[in-house]
Amino acid sequence: MKVLLLTLSLSIGIYLGGTSQGLDCVKFKTGKFVLKDPVAGTSYISRNDHFQIETAEGGKKTIKLKIKWLDDCTYVLTPTGKSNDLPPGFPPDAILTVHIIQTTGNTYTIRATLNFAEGEYVHEIEKIK
């Protein structure tokens, strides 16, 4: 019986405390960031309360996205520009849902899903300003 109570207590503690423990998402809501991807290259992100602007390294391509925060650690991005401003395969009605799953110092890790593609994308992003 004691073992069952201990196991139950630990499980509840992990569930209640472990899901948001240590996440300081608020400091990542606005600012300037860098995302380094070995496949897509480096992108620079500038985010305010209403928009996120992503610029590929060298300024070759820029995309403006509307941002809506669902809670302190979850936000949704939707394109604001013309369809020819979007990356290839990115539809104008795209919805990108982003969950901040880890924060450490000036970096945070996201898990993102797209409404037009399967799978999840995990990236680490660094706040630079």
Note the pLDDT tens digit of each residue in 78-117: 999 765 677 778 888 999 999 999 999 999 999 999 999 9
Q: Any bridge partners for residue 7, and if so which?
A: none
Instruction: Please give the CATH number for the structural domain made up of 23-127.
Output: 2.40.128
Q: Is residue 30 classed as helix, strand or coil in its secondary structure?
A: coil
Q: Where are the domains of the chain?
A: 23-127
Instruction: Please tell me whether residue 3 adopts helix, strand or coil conformation.
Output: helix
Residue 44's closest CA among 58, 31, 34?
34
Give the number of residues written for the chain.
Answer: 129
Q: CA 14, 111, 75 angle in degrees (round to 5)?
A: 95
The two tokens of residue 96 are 């990108």
Mean pLDDT across the chain: 83
Output the pTM of the full model.
Answer: 0.79
Pairing between β-strand 74-79 and β-strand 62-71 as defined by DSSP bridges: antiparallel
